[in-house]
Copies of this chain bind each other. A is one copy, B any other.
Amino acid sequence: MTTVTIPKVSEFIEVEGTRYAYRKFGKETGIPLLFLIHFRGTMENWDPNMIEPIAKKRPVILFDNKGVGETRGQTPITIAEMAKDAGAFIKALGLEQVDILGFSIGGMVAQELALQHGDLVRRMILAGTSPESGVNPDPEIIERMNKNTTTQEEGLEDFMFFFYSPTDTSRSLGMASLQRIFGQKTVNSSDQVQQSQLQAIAKWAQQKEDHQFEWLQSIDHPVLVTNGVTDIMVPTKNSYILTEKLPNAQLIIYPDSGHGHLFQYPEMFAEHVNLFLNSQTYEASKN
């Protein structure tokens, strides 16, 4: 089998005054899969054990959206603008259609992108994410999310708390993943990213009255929704809602895991992603 290694150096493309950093690799032919990372993450925050088996089967694009990691500029304060930037980046690469894997805030951006540029997207994986006006975390979780950590130990413990279940198995698999991620990490995001992303998420999470998530009906792409069974940060209930309200969504929930399910089970998750993206079942529909 071909070996795939994630490149350590980025390429750049300039679009509307922003120089986007990205890394494109993997199989040379096929629809590329674009990855949209979680809150405060950069393209170096993906677990390589999850990325590599996916990249063996299709071209993969990791990128830093505006203001994030190696891409300079101001991170916008709405999900819609983040999606607009991602769309401009895809078009600048000369791509007519991509698959999208959006994790957490990245999944929110993916939904907006599908609404703004339906034809640009073939299929989507929405991991550990929420529809607009979804179910919010418990108040004590929100409080802890908004607290600034002062030491590296606190930061690490917060990450483990938010991404993994409080079981020995989940925490030790989570720690192993984190070490793989740390092993490739060279760039962090600017300070402005966190505040802008928090503002964007807060606006996205705002409750609307009398809605039935009717806008999700417009996203008729084949979608794979995933999460861990006990995500405390983006409650798992949101994945049920996405599956029930999107017209063509499959759901996979993983045991003994939370928000970081895709990093806890990187090989199984990658197999599910490849199976979904390759499936002939969706050939009958327009995508």
Residues A279 and B275 in contact in the complex (CB < 8 Å), given A229-B244, A250-B255, A255-B250: no
Copies in the complex: 2
Interface SS majority for chain A: mixed
- Taking a contact as CB atoms under 8 Å apart, the answer to whether B265 and A255 are in contact is no
Does A281 lie at the interface of the complex (its beta carbon under 8 Å from any beta carbon of B)? yes
- Give the contacting residue for A256; candidates B229, B247, B253, B280; CB below 8 A: B247
Contacts of A130-162 to chain B: CB distance below 8 A:
none
Contacts of A248-278 to chain B: CB distance below 8 A:
248-256, 265, 267-268, 271-272, 275
- Taking a contact as CB atoms under 8 Å apart, the answer to whether A268 and B252 are in contact is no
A4-18 near B? 1/0 per residue, CB < 8 Å = 000000000000000
- Give the contacting residue for A243; candidates B169, B229, B271, B281; CB below 8 A: B229
Residues A250 and B244 in contact in the complex (CB < 8 Å), given A265-B281, A281-B265, A281-B268: no
Does A240 lie at the interface of the complex (its beta carbon under 8 Å from any beta carbon of B)? yes
Closest to A276 in B: B268
- Taking a contact as CB atoms under 8 Å apart, the answer to whether B279 and A268 are in contact is yes
User: Chain A interface (Cβ within 8 Å of chain B)?
Assistant: 169, 222, 229, 240, 243-244, 246-256, 265, 267-268, 271-272, 275, 279-281, 284
Q: Considering the complex of A and B, which 9 residue pairs feature the smallest CB-CB distances, nearest first?
A: A251-B253, A248-B255, A268-B281, A249-B255, A252-B252, A243-B253, A250-B255, A265-B281, A271-B275
